[in-house]
Amino acid sequence: MTTGAVSSAVSPVAIVCGNGRLPLQVAEAATARGRPVFLLGIVGIADPAIERFPHTWIKLGQGGRAHRLLTERGCREVCFIGGLTRPSLSSLSFDWRTIRLAGRVAKLFIGGDDKLLSGIIDLVETEGGLKVVAPHDVAPEILAPAGPIGRREPSAAELADIRLGLDCLRAMSAHDVGQAVVVGRGRVLAVEAAEGTDAMVDRVAELRRVGRIRLPDGTGVLVKAPKAGQDRRIDLPALGPRTVLGAERARLAGVAITAGAAVVADPVELVAVADRAGLFVYGIPGEGV
């Protein structure tokens, strides 16, 4: 019965998997630390590669089925990781248990992302009896470190732009507005809201192309930070190679994210992309820059 004792002592952490490589990184890191995992891949969104871990597939809205599966597996903790486009009510497959909660679910769809996410956490904890943990509690390896990540370091002028971007994000965050801005030479060039970070960076590329932004190539910084008061167990800002490629197309100098409060997807490829492009990727220390 030793096996049974171990499995109840160390219950598997449930990982609800959105898109991208991050769910796999979390599962790998947790497994390497000796923590069993159980992955719930969201159909049509999660990478099929999650199947190499203990897993099942669920549709968005199947809260009741997910809850039953996790209970059967002995999961007591759950984390959410990977991107998820804000769903429409009609795209969800509600099961009965979720429909009973429909009034509370519907409320989540009115208001900003923060409300949506904190509402999901609240539902899972109060109705599901599960503890929502941060992916970085299970896999601290995914958090951005402080200082330069990759070869290049930001200059003093670039650090000043990073500081301005951070100040601007903090000022907006009370209103649940995006997690990213682009700043160039003391001027805020773009602010993220519903479009998402990559679309905002693409906009900077386009504004440069048409001459609406006339800064020299290689100026401008993308700054990402979590919103103030945001529940960091879920939806920390994430940075991956695709965003660095976008920053290169937008002819930025680099990308800055909050160290310890942002996750890095595919770090090896990200550094390779940044170094090849000559961009800095910088982890902003907790005290700011």
- Residues at the site binding a copy of itself, with contacts judged by CB under 8 A: 85-86, 88, 110-113, 115, 164, 167-168, 171-172, 174-178, 181-182, 185-196, 203-204, 207, 211-214
Minimum Å distance from CB 86 to a copy of itself? 7
Spatial separation of the C-alpha atoms in residues 232 and 60, rounded to whole Å: 22
Minimum Å distance from CB 21 to a copy of itself? 22
In terms of CB distance, is 68 or 209 closer to a copy of itself?
A: 209
Minimum Å distance from CB 193 to a copy of itself? 5
Spatial separation of the C-alpha atoms in residues 160 and 185, rounded to whole Å: 8
In terms of CB distance, is 47 or 202 closer to a copy of itself?
A: 202
Please give the full DSSP string across 190-256, using - where no structure is assigned. EE-STT-HHHHHHHHHHHHHTTSS-PPTT--EEEE-PPTT--TTS---EE-HHHHHHHHHTT-SEEE
In terms of CB distance, is 8 or 90 closer to a copy of itself?
A: 90
Residue corresponding to tokens 């001459």: 211
- Could you give the 3-state DSSP secondary structure of residue 268? helix
Q: How many CB atoms lie within 10 A of CB 212?
A: 11
Dihedral (Cα; 9, 21, 25, 113), 10-degree rounding: -60
In terms of CB distance, is 87 or 148 closer to a copy of itself?
A: 87
Spatial separation of the C-alpha atoms in residues 222 and 250, rounded to whole Å: 10
In terms of CB distance, is 122 or 275 closer to a copy of itself?
A: 122
Q: How far apart are the first and last CA of the chain?
A: 54
In terms of CB distance, is 144 or 256 closer to a copy of itself?
A: 256
Residue corresponding to tokens 């959105």: 18
Minimum Å distance from CB 173 to a copy of itself? 9
In terms of CB distance, is 25 or 173 closer to a copy of itself?
A: 173
Minimum Å distance from CB 235 to a copy of itself? 15
Minimum Å distance from CB 156 to a copy of itself? 14
Spatial separation of the C-alpha atoms in residues 32 and 27, rounded to whole Å: 9
Tell me the sheet residues that pair with 28: none
Minimum Å distance from CB 144 to a copy of itself? 23
